[in-house]
Amino acid sequence: MAKATFGAGCFWGVEAAFRKVEGVTGTAVGYMGGTLDNPSYQDVCTDRTGHAEVVEVDYDPERVSYDALLDVFWDVHDPTTLNRQGPDIGTQYRSVIFFHDKAQEQAAMASRDRLAASGRYRRPIVTEIVPATTFWRAEEYHQRYLEKRGLASCSI
């Protein structure tokens, strides 16, 4: 089993997308990259803690590659918008890949560079690629939020 952590805007839709991937064995939404221990949603929403809303993905590398997870990450958001996804604005909604080891770091950078060279975007990719820090699990009502409301099958 392995772990990957991604921030791509509001974590509800991002989590739903990763839950559909064969080989993903679990997901949790939470906060990473900030300065406050055990932040609440209300803390993170102040845009003062430095945390990003993230999805922690547990996966079986025998069934799904990290590169395949990176493809999902790039497809579920616009990596050219700084601290914003759709109507959500703030550093907590930034595009970020938190790597857990050197192999993930190298794969993330190579993936970003391939995407940048592809011509898919006219603006530069602003996605951060940084070491994973403490994952703070979000409140239970955020976990599988869209699924609990019968919306997990909608496109994001």
Closest of 97, 99, 135, 133 to residue 8, by C-alpha: 97
Q: Are 105 and 70 in contact (CB under 8 A)?
A: no
CA–CA separation, 99 and 88 (whole Å): 24
User: Which positions are catalytic?
Assistant: 10
Radius of gyration from C-alpha coordinates of the chain: 14
Residue 40: what residue type?
Answer: S
How many residues can be counted in the chain?
156
